[in-house]
């Protein structure tokens, strides 16, 4: 091969090699060109998605305001007139917003809460104005010396329950100072006093320091007693033990009467909820629980009360007393009852 031939061969080789290579480079550039449009498109889409979420939220906010504002006739006791017939509220309320971190600010003032939730201002009761609630609930909250928790609780629970389109009333039940705290007695009293006032479908046995975080945690009763506070932050959002029935639970009037309510004997901290669980099992009932991702609660911080040393003995012998000890044999006096605007306060003595 002579010099010329060799050069032309190299050129041809180069051409063979570079031609597709150039084509590939061109293709790559066009691909990048197209991808760039995709990326810009995604950014624009995300922006409008954010706007979309924002619009959705403000729409809900508006709906909520309208919903609360049109509820002037919700004073169940003072309003003696027959309510106008309304359609049943939907099974799932359109006002639910899912997870919402509870406001636990020390700066909550009940005066501001009052202004916000002015349509729940007859002893803390509410009913939706535009539809008939599917259930009427009484929130029974045992109480002692926890003013700072009470205002956070009240501020949180009103909008939470309103968004669920419930008809409800909040009862705070307290014992005279010199009597040892007794959660079982207070809840029994709450049940008896609330039942005198209205025919509630559901009673919530509710600690003041527990705030539901997710409003798909529907405050409704079922055909079996329900344990609501399945996942509490204090217990790492896990059930502390399988038979736990404390914190927040929901029972119908029939279910409470069937087991004779709580035992009245558990003074001090602990055991009364375990005894109630034993009562349910004793009466062949089981307990329902919803999914932990929805049944989430935050527990407000407090010092641990001294546990009742007697509780294990009482628990062992509990089912021997179940027929007498409870709602049936409870005697109490009401030493103070005040219908505050956002809750009804009942103080008892013996
Ligand atoms: C007590 C219950 C309490 C539970 C979770 C148990 O040891 O007996 O009354 O609800 O702990 O704190
Ligand atoms: Mn607690």
Tell me the per-residue pLDDT of 165-200, one tens digit each, with 9 for 90 and over.
999 999 999 999 999 999 999 999 999 999 999 999
For residue 153, how far is its CA from the centre of ligand 2 (angstroms)?
13
Is the shortest distance between the CB of 184 and ligand 1 below 6 Å? Answer: no
pLDDT of residue 341: 85
Is the shortest distance between the CB of 246 and ligand 1 below 6 Å? Answer: yes
In whole numbers, what is the pLDDT of the chain averaged over residues?
Answer: 83
Whether residue 169 is found in the same domain as residue 50: no
Q: Per the domain annotation, does 33 fall within a domain?
A: yes
Q: Per the domain annotation, does 61 fall within a domain?
A: yes
Report which secondary-structure segment, H or E, holds 62.
helix 3-69
Q: Per the domain annotation, does 286 fall within a domain?
A: yes
Whether residue 166 is found in the same domain as residue 44: no
Q: Per the domain annotation, does 175 fall within a domain?
A: yes
Beta strands in the chain (DSSP E): 125-126, 136-143, 167-175, 202-206, 210-212, 226-227, 231-232, 248-251, 288-289, 296-299, 333-339, 344-349
pLDDT of residue 6: 53
Minimal-distance CA residue to ligand 1 atom 2: 270
- pLDDT digits 0-9 by tens, 42-77: 544 443 333 322 223 233 333 333 333 333 344 444
For residue 82, pLDDT over 50 is answered with: yes
Q: How many domains does the chain have?
A: 2
Is the shortest distance between the CB of 193 and ligand 1 below 6 Å? Answer: no
pLDDT of residue 33: 72
Secondary structure (3-state) at 290 = coil
* Best residue for ligand 1 mutational test, from 142, 229, 273, 277 (most atoms within 8 Å of Cβ): 273
How far is residue 220's CA from residue 216's CA, in Å, rounded to a whole number?
Answer: 11
Q: Per the domain annotation, does 87 fall within a domain?
A: no
Q: Per the domain annotation, does 168 fall within a domain?
A: yes
Whether residue 33 is found in the same domain as residue 110: no
Last residue of a domain, one of 70, 95, 117: 70
- pLDDT digits 0-9 by tens, 130-156: 899 999 999 999 999 898 899 999 999
Whether residue 53 is found in the same domain as residue 193: no
For residue 40, how far is its CA from the centre of ligand 2 (angstroms)?
52
Name the residue range of residue 324's domain.
105-349
Whether residue 133 is found in the same domain as residue 51: no
Is the shortest distance between the CB of 209 and ligand 1 below 6 Å? Answer: no
pLDDT of residue 71: 35
Q: Per the domain annotation, does 80 fall within a domain?
A: no
Last residue of a domain, one of 21, 53, 70: 70
Whether residue 136 is found in the same domain as residue 207: yes
Rounded to the nearest angstrom, the gap between the alpha carbon of residue 33 and the centroid of all alpha carbons in its chain is 51
């Amino acid at each position: 091969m002579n010099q010329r031939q060799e050069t032309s061969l190299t050129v041809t080789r180069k051409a063979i090699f570079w031609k597709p290579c150039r084509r590939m480079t061109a293709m790559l550039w066009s691909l990048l060109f197209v991808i760039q449009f995709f990326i810009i498109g995604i950014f624009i889409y995300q922006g409008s998605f954010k706007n979309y979420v924002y619009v959705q939220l403000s729409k809900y906010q508006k709906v909520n305001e309208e919903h609360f504002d049109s509820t002037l006739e919700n004073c169940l006791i003072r309003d003696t007139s027959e309510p106008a017939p309304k359609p049943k509220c939907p099974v799932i309320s359109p006002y639910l917003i899912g997870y919402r971190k509870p406001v636990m600010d020390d700066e909550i003032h009940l005066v501001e809460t009052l202004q916000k939730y002015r349509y729940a201002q007859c002893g803390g009761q509410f009913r939706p104005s535009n539809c008939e609630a599917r259930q009427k609930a009484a929130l029974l909250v045992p109480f002692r010396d926890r003013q700072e928790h009470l205002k956070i609780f009240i501020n949180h629970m009103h909008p939470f329950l309103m968004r669920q389109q419930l008809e409800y009333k909040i009862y705070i039940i307290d014992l005279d100072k010199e009597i040892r705290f007794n959660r079982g007695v207070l809840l029994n009293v709450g049940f008896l006093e609330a039942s005198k006032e209205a025919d509630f479908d559901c009673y919530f046995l509710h600690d003041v320091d527990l705030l539901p975080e997710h409003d798909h945690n529907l405050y409704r009763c079922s055909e079996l007693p329900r344990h609501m506070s399945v996942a509490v932050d204090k217990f790492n959002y896990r059930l502390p033990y399988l038979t736990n029935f404390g914190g927040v639970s929901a029972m119908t009037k029939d279910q409470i009467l069937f087991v004779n309510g709580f035992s009245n004997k558990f003074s001090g901290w602990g055991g009364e909820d375990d005894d109630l669980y034993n009562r349910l099992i004793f009466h062949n009932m089981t307990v329902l629980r919803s999914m932990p991702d929805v049944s989430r609660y935050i527990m407000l911080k407090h010092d641990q009360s001294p546990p009742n040393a007697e509780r294990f003995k009482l628990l062992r012998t509990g089912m021997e007393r179940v027929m007498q000890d409870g709602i049936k044999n409870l005697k109490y006096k009401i030493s103070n009852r005040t219908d505050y605007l956002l809750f009804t306060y009942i103080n008892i003595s013996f």
